[in-house]
Structure formats: C-alpha cells, structure tokens
Amino acid sequence: EAIASAVTEKTKLLVIASPANPLGSVTSVDELQRIAQVVLQKDLLVISDETYTRLYYGEGPVAPSILSIKGMEQHSFAVNTFS
C-alpha cells in the first residue's frame, strides 16, 4: 500500500534490497507479490539487489526473489551489489 501510494506518473523504477544488510530483513513472498502487482499495473521496472540471497536461514536454499513471480521476467533484473 505504501509503495502504491508513493508511485507517481514520474516513477519509472523501484529498487529492492532483500535480504537487506545490516539487519538481514527479508521481503516475504506475499509482499513481493503485492509489489509485483503495482509494478505490473504501473508498467514499472525493478532492480533487485540480491547480494545476500544465499545468506538466508528461512525456508528454501535462497531468499525469495521478485524475479520468480509470474509476469516479472520483463520488468525486473537482479544485481549482486548496488551501492
């Protein structure tokens, strides 16, 4: 909801860092799906900084990625550092 309300006609790109450093917070699959809905509705792009994706202690071998959500293949790409 916060992202959707912050998007304007000038918005072209979102940057997601998950897992995030230094706290290690991970964006959940549910949250990524909500973000993807906004991205697809508004025809935005996403840069997903996934540097720490393998340093993940949740379910599965790696942290959830927005690139795994259907429809996001043409709207997102991953980088392994963005600073």
pTM: 0.84
Per-residue pLDDT tens digits for 27-71: 899 999 999 999 999 999 999 988 777 776 777 767 889 999 999
Buried b (16+ CB within 10 A) or exposed e, 38-53: bbeebebebbbbbbbb
Say how far apart CA 54 and CA 63 lie, in whole Å.
Answer: 7
DSSP type of residue 58: S
Report how far residue 56's alpha carbon sits from residue 19's, in angstroms, rounded to the nearest whole number: 8
More confident residue, 32 or 20: 32
Backbone angles phi, psi at 15, to 5 degrees: -115, 125
